[in-house]
Amino acid sequence: MDAHATVLDARAAGLDRASTVLVPIDFSEASRHALAAALSLVEGAGSATEEGATTVLAVHVLDQTRIDFIAELGYAQPEEIAAKARAHAEQRLKRLTDLELPPGVELTRVVVAGSPVAELLKLARELSADLMVLGIPPLFVGSPAEKIILGAPCPVLLVKGGPEEAELPAHPTDEPSGAPGTV
């Protein structure tokens, strides 16, 4: 199913009337597809909402455990690492979302630190998100995406990434074992 079909299915389900749409961004191809699908979905719907505009929140969560790990290695103080990581993420998010928006759509960039799953679910609850548009990672089961879907306080629209997402590189030591079906 392509992104266009996904958006048509979502419109048929009435999800295009969402006034607050949260899109987690991890800078993967899947999250880029999710952002494009979210903007396409709400295109023209901004004037149909009660408040007059649809807000799309592009959210990147800095993984606090990674910041703590880098600090433990002694590369810098946690505050310095967090500040640099936040500045870098804000810059990347701005470049990714610096595009022409459909009429009636506002885009808000959010960068927070913490546990990605917990922070996204917390934001969805606090902002009373009507919809979350999530890019599907190539390895879905057990991923943060699965945990978000199970805990989300709102509908979650899943968007497939590009075909390159599904191809996993072979491990350099992968060799046929000689067993039937592996040669």
Residue-range domains of the chain with CATH: 3-136+154-162 (3.40.50.620)
Model confidence pLDDT, tens digit, residues 140-159: 666 788 889 999 999 999 99
Judged against a pLDDT cut of 60, whether residue 174 lies above it is answered with no
Amino acid found at 13: A
Residue with tokens 């590009």: 162
CA distances from 30 to 24, 27, 140 (A): 10, 8, 12
Task: Check pLDDT > 90 for residue 16.
Answer: no
Of the two residues 147 and 170, the one the predictor is more confident about is: 147
Model pTM above 0.85: no
| Residue 18 pLDDT > 60 | yes
pLDDT in tens, 95-119: 999 988 888 899 999 999 999 999 9
How many Cα atoms are found within 13 Å in the side-chain-facing hemisphere of 84? 10
Strands, E assignment, 93-155: 105-114, 131-136
Q: Identify the CA nearest to 44 among candidates 133, 129, 104.
A: 104
Task: Find, among 134, 91, 131, the residue nearest to 111 by Cα.
Answer: 91
Query: Quick one: average pLDDT of 76-86?
Result: 92
Q: What is the pLDDT of residue 35?
A: 94
* 120 contacts: CB under 8 Å, gap ≥ 6: 22, 24, 59, 61, 132, 148
